[in-house]
Amino acid sequence: MIKLIGQRAIASLLSLLGLMVLVFFLSRLTGDPAVLFLPIDATEAMKANFRALHGLDAPLLEQFGRYVWDLLQFDFGQSLRKARPAIDVVMEAYAWTLPLALITLSLVVVAAIVLGSLAAFKIGGFFDRMVSIISLIGASAPDFWVAIVAIVVFSINLGWLPTSGVGTPLHWVLPIAVLFIRPFGLIVQVVRGSMLSALSAAYVKTARAKGVKNLPIIFVHTLRNAMLPVITVIGDQAAAMLNGAVIVETIFGFPGIGKLMIDSILQRDFNVVLAAIMVTAVAIFIMNMLIDIAYGLLDPRIRH
């Protein structure tokens, strides 16, 4: 297990370095921040002073070298837009995204595992057909369309929920509901398929022959053996939520990391963009490491 974790850590570090190089140079292709931040009638001298002040007048390789050196000291630079440390701006956004992602993912995992397992146990029945239809619709529904329809129905027509912001618990209902739908549909399908394979195993037939009741067969004997592909999908969906669910946060005006990335790219706030991507990448690599550990705990063959 330790060897496996070490190999994954080295691979993650190399991926992180590659991502850092890629994002740094691609972000410079979005344009000159001096043009955006200074008035339209700003002179060339004013633009040159702005670039010099923020180190944007040096050659790209020199800028990259400075950035790497600062990064080694955990210095992500200053936000051009807010004149504050970029890492502080990013962590403030994560303070909103993390609760949103954790609440949504917890609801998704519990609901998907329970409904998917029961549907597999009653394959071909009314409950199985209903769960399959609902999950397929959920997995196929575009997030932006669901978000817009939810605003029109529940905010504009019915007036039950606010359209944007984070002021009260009601402001969280629509973002959580919209984020819930697609992961729920995907995970239910995977749970159902994996459970169907596990329920046909010989040890399940033996448990039934011994008189073991249905619920212990589903959630004690079978579920653990069916969890490996489910964990993979859960990890993918968790990574998408850690990315900030860009579309959902933007539509609902939710001040999370996804909306911050979009705003920072449009405003050419390079340091915030880089800090947001690097922090998100580290979080995803750590999560992938936890998934690998979970694989080893569930399947002894992986540990060896």
Distances (CA, A) of 212 to 195, 206, 218, 224: 17, 9, 10, 17
32 assigned to some structural domain? no
Q: Please give the torsion angle defined by the CA atoms of residues 138, 144, 148 and 153, in that order, rounded to the nearest 10 degrees.
A: 10
The single residue listed with the structure tokens 């009653």 is 122
63 assigned to some structural domain? no
> Mean pLDDT across the chain, nearest whole number?
80
272 assigned to some structural domain? yes
pLDDT at 227: 77
Which pTM does this prediction carry? 0.76
Would you say residue 299 has pLDDT above 70? no
Would you say residue 268 has pLDDT above 80? no
Would you say residue 291 has pLDDT above 80? no
234 assigned to some structural domain? yes
Query: Residue 102: which of 262, 261, 287, 296 has the closest Cα?
Result: 287
Per-residue pLDDT band at 101 (split at 50, 70, 90): confident
Q: Please give the torsion angle defined by the CA atoms of residues 52, 262, 105 and 282, in that order, rounded to the nearest 10 degrees.
A: -30
Please state the domain count of the chain: 1
pLDDT at 252: 85
156 assigned to some structural domain? yes
Per-residue pLDDT band at 304 (split at 50, 70, 90): low
207 assigned to some structural domain? yes
